[in-house]
Amino acid sequence: MNQGTSQKLEDFYKRPSASPPSSLVDLEEVSANRGELFVPAVKEVNLALALSPHSATWRDSLGMRSKEVSAGTVALCQFDHNVRFELHKAADFAVVLLRNEALEQVCEENRTCLGAELEAHPAIEDVTMRRLMETLLVEKRDGFQHSFWTASQSRWRATSCANIPLAAGQRGT
């Protein structure tokens, strides 16, 4: 069992939101060995980016499921539910927590709440979501030096991403 990885995720979920670029988003890279991986429940929006190809089996409300996952696949994780995966080989992930305060700001600005519309998906093949996750990962690895995401007067603003490297030889657009 991947107890160390499960503990790392639990610690990440409980960590106070004080890391750069602001308290509204946080990112952690995790590696898991072949075998059982327990992902603890979290009451915040949680996304995962597969950094390596792998396959997994798990049980959810639809019953027993299995999926071959390619690197770059994004998952929108189930809100406030534990999940026990059986990994068929080692896997690397980038896990992003979108703090509840971020959704509250969107609700205030748009006068509607998006939280109820979010639905868990184990594998989203979406280029925009993947690039956003990759950009956050690169920014975290670089210590958020590019200031892609900045908090200004409690509002998010995206600054130019034209020069941010997403992967070897790629640039944002």
Look up the pTM and report it: 0.70
For residues 113 and 148, what is the distance between their CA atoms, to the nearest angstrom? 25
Rounded to 5°, the CA angle 12-95-169 comes to 135
98-123 pLDDT per residue, tens: 877 766 766 677 666 555 456 677 77
64 has pLDDT over 50: yes
Q: Is the pLDDT confidence value at 11 over 70?
A: yes
Residue 26 confidence class, pLDDT cut points 50, 70, 90: confident
* pLDDT value of position 95: 92
What are the φ/ψ torsions at residue 15 (nearest 5 degrees)? -65, 135
CB contact at 8 A, 67 and 98:
no
- Of 146 and 49, the structure prediction assigns the larger pLDDT to 49
pLDDT at 48: 92
Q: How many CA atoms lie within 13 A of 4 on its CB side?
A: 6
The pLDDT of 143-149, averaged and rounded, is 59
Task: Report the percentage of the chain scoring pLDDT > 90.
Answer: 27
What structural domains and CATH numbers belong to the chain?
3-126 (2.60.120.10)
Question: Would you state the pLDDT for residue 127?
Answer: 87
